[in-house]
Structure 1
């Protein structure tokens, strides 16, 4: 089994863990949220339920991308990965805005009575489960695993959500022992407003990154700098007149095009010399664990490098 096959196998296992974990929390959250009349718990359960659907989408996409179809997709299917990530975060963003509107309405209508004890127990269990799954996904959430990184972010948000539920209901429980117990009906919707307001940031940030990949913009600066250093070294060593480096990252695939412009003083004379330089580039960028699509061209005519 190749390292790429191993990566895909690991990715599938982690996505399945995410699906089963989200399904468990979704069922518990929706049932308890309804029974104890808690918007916060219900929001948590609905978030988990949507996570199940989105995780299934990620799992299907990962398997579909792996299946080779050179005739219809000569450059691969990696573009599906950022598209799926955009869909995932767009759905989460819509859920978040919906929860915000609903909670504001509840606050203006005088709040809502909630069975705090059961909600507190749910929040404790949910926080522990979310932390465990997030920690597992985060351990393998490398930059080249776009779908796993999205899942890890999703569970991090759910962990914060469940933690906020826990803290909020602890606060509500303490309020019941004070003269301020009349505030308790407002605790539940106010928690949703605070958490949902924070949640807006993550989907917008991650969608922006995915949109950059769909537009085939340049990758992260650290990736680009690695290739720039290698190209500059080759220019200096082989007396290359000039070079052009173009890069983009789409999902787990890194596209690299390098054009070297030679002149009569350049020390690149044969095809063997050219292949040796290609091998040098490959060896010096092995630390970047992406599936690479690298094109290295040599020409004396600047026309072919633009």
Structure 2
């Protein structure tokens, strides 16, 4: 398992997320009951998702710290992108359901709401969500945790959602006080449709990124070239013809399978000397990026690297 990772800090951030999600769930459902607003109800449901996901996330955060064992020969880090994939799918499903429900509401005369109370909720939720997102983003910079990173994105999306709700309710409130009062009931469903469609790309990107890790897709070529360049620098003392690298990312770990195709001038007398080369190269790579795990093989026949 990779070292240098701040497990306690990660868990404390995830516990904070769980606590704040609990607060927002109760506040959102309370205001939804008072105001009869579908947008606030959707915001509450969206807050309910991080609540349940945070429970799972804390469990996963404990699992990914465990070393390899007889059941999981490569450790538990693959659970991390799997959970993030599951999170993104739940959020996408919620957004689509909200949009469909709002479209139905538009065709049945809209939805009136108590926009004064709704504005108070929008202000509270906007400040709170952006505050939690900023706090987690700031403290996650020193961590190698996709769990915290995705959680910060989730709170950011919730903040955007709440800010949009606040703006929409302000518009509806002033419409009610004007000659355009007949249009006020349509603000809530229109707002809900706009929010659902605007949010979709964010969990969509998380879903695609997590899926790539789940199926062990290689990172982008630009990333691979940087890693390969650094690896060859760490092997500068080794006479090789070519270095073949296979790269996969699983959660917080980046795994490298390295085949070093040596030339005729490569001559060592003991296995210990090969181990020293491996240790030196891995130390250099892990100093550059602590998330890197490596296996190095020395070969003469290039076909063995295919």
Give the structure-2-normalised TM-score.
Answer: 0.92
Q: What does residue 145 of structure 2 align with? A: 145
Residue aligning to 2:175:
175
- 1:70 deviation in Å? 1.1
Q: Does 1:207 align with 2:207?
A: yes
CA positional deviation for 1:203: 1.3
Question: Shift of the alpha carbon at 1:221?
Answer: 4.6
Q: Is the 8 A contact 1:257 1:294 kept in 2?
A: yes
- Report deviation, 1:152: 0.8
Cα separation, 2, equivalents of 1:102 and 1:234: 57
Give the corresponding residue for 2:289: 288
Question: In 2, Cα distance between the equivalents of 1:86 and 1:158?
Answer: 18
Q: By how many angstroms is 1:114 displaced?
A: 0.5
Structure 2 partner of 1:11: 10
- CA 1:3 to 1:245, structure 2 compared with 1: closer, same or farther past 3 Å? closer
Shift of 1:254: 1.3
Give the deviation of 1:300 after TM superposition: 1.6
Query: What TM-score does the superposition give when structure 1 sets the normalisation length?
Result: 0.92
> After superposition, what is the alpha-carbon deviation per residue over 1:254-283, rounded to whole angstroms, capped at 9, x for unaligned?
110111111213476654553443313431
- SS of 2:50's equivalent? helix
1:244 partner SS:
strand
| Distance in 1 (alpha carbons) for counterparts of 2:226 and 2:216 | 19
SS at 1:137 equivalent? helix
Bigger mean CA deviation after superposition, 52-61 or 276-285: 276-285
Q: In the alignment, is the contact (CA less than 8 A) between 2:235 and 2:281 conserved in 1?
A: no
Counterparts of 1:54 and 1:6, CA distance in 2 = 22
- Matched residue, 1:48: 47
**Corresponding residue number in structure 1 for 2:34:** 35
Q: Distance in 2 between matches of 1:162 and 1:261?
A: 56
Q: Distance in 2 between matches of 1:267 and 1:231?
A: 21
Rounded Cα–Cα distance in structure 1 between residues aligned with 2:247 and 2:226: 11
Per the TM alignment, residue 53 of structure 1 is displaced from its structure 2 partner at its CA by 0.4
Shift of residue 243 of structure 1? 1.6
**Which residues in structure 2 correspond to 1:47-196 (within 5 Å)?**
47-68=46-67, 70-142=69-141, 144-196=144-196
Aligned to 1:226: 226
User: Are residues 203 and 67 of structure 1, via their aligned partners in 2, closer, same or farther at CA, if it must alter by over 3 Å?
Assistant: same
Cα-Cα RMSD: 2.2
Q: Kindly indicate whether the alpha-carbon contact (under 8 Å) linking 1:234 and 1:240 is maintained by their aligned counterparts in 2.
A: no
Q: Distance in 2 between matches of 1:86 and 1:270?
A: 46
Bigger mean CA deviation after superposition, 225-234 or 242-251: 225-234
Q: For 2:137 and 2:268, locate their aligned partners in 1 and report how far apart those are by CA, in whole Å.
A: 45
